[in-house]
Amino acid sequence: MRVMGIVNVTPDSFSDGGLYLDADAAIAHGRELASEGADVLDVGGESTRPGAEDVSAEEERRRVEPVVAALASDGHAVSIDTSKAVVAEAALDAGAGIVNDVTAFRGDPELAALCADRGCDVVLMHMLGTPRTMQDDPRYDDVVDDVRAFLAERVEHAVAAGVAEERIWVDPGIGFGKTLEHNLELLRRLGELRELGRPIIVGTSRKRFIGAITGREADERLGGTVASNVLALAAGADAFRVHDIAEVSEALLVAEVLLGSRSWGADERVAGRATSESL
């Protein structure tokens, strides 16, 4: 199980836009997420929220490069959330080891070859349409079958471009061209994506489908974020992209122990927050 902390260096991300636009603030935020237990820090310089404006490659690169460089030189594993080869290249040069592409190599024809050349890990995500249009009446025959077929095709494409299959992670793209029902169906049947034979990463953190259920604003969706990540774990997810690392990691740890997928021996009790005496 791996937890990926979100470091948005953007003015307009849906839940934390503008908070960490300054490089120093973003670096401090990334360090805080790492100290809370993030296994990977996912640095992004372009919002992909519904209706978001495009950002030039130059501006995106200017935002992310110093943040990636500082966090990577601390020794943290860093992923770059971009669809643009020039941004990915600058981030890989600055020490990133993972490229997280929400277009699954459809946005920039150069990106797959770059990833193949660098031998980095890649996250391929499903999205219907583009961020600007994706919530305009999305339709599927069967959302899980369609997403699985799409991801299978994108894995094949990446492998044909020279990316090693064992470097690939797949992501159903919660909220990217999906209605509330589509998101719920994907999360309920997430285990069906295991047929792809690749690790599954899922991003539910603070997303709109949670607000649709709870009526809460983006920064008040922690309860829904925890519930959806715990159930995604139970359904077969391997990694979780979240804003609230401390709370979600703790929930996932307890869920893993309860599910029996992680043992909880004496060594871990000493290292963990709770001791046997306090339990």
Chain residues that interact with ligand HH2, rule: CB under 6 A: 6, 8, 10, 13-15, 44, 47-49, 81, 100, 102, 123, 125, 171, 173-174, 201, 203, 241
Query: Least separation, in Å, of the C-beta of 40 and ligand HH2?
Result: 11
207, 216, 221, 262: which one is catalytic?
207
Q: How far is the CB of 100 from ligand HH2 (least distance, A)?
A: 5
Q: Are 202 and 241 in contact (CB under 8 A)?
A: yes
DSSP 2: E
Number of Cβ atoms within 10 Å of the Cβ of 236:
15
Helix, strand, or coil (residue 220): helix
* Cα distance between residue 173 and residue 102, in whole Å: 8
Determine contact, residues 94/79, Cβ cutoff 8 Å: no
Shortest separation between residue 63's beta carbon and ligand HH2, angstroms:
11
Look up residue 274 and give its two tokens. Answer: 């709770």
Closest contact distance (angstroms) between CB of 267 and ligand HH2 is 33
Q: How far is CA 194 from the centre of its chain?
A: 17
Beta-strand ranges (E) seen in the chain are: 2-8, 40-44, 77-81, 98-101, 121-125, 168-171, 201-202, 239-242
Tokens of residue 167, six digits:
């470097």
* Residue number with the smallest Cβ distance to ligand HH2: 203
Cβ distance to ligand HH2 smaller for residue 81 or 108: 81
Catalytic-residue membership of 241: yes
The smaller minimum CB distance to ligand HH2, of residues 106 and 262, is found at: 106
> In the annotation, is 221 catalytic?
no
Closest CB to ligand HH2 among residues 13, 228: 13
CA pair distance 204, 101, nearest whole angstrom: 16
Strands (E), 34-95: 40-44, 77-81
Closest CB to ligand HH2 among 100 and 229?
100
- For residues 2 and 262, which CB has a smaller minimum distance to ligand HH2 in the complex? 2
CB of 241 to ligand HH2, least distance (A): 5
Residues annotated as catalytic are 207, 241
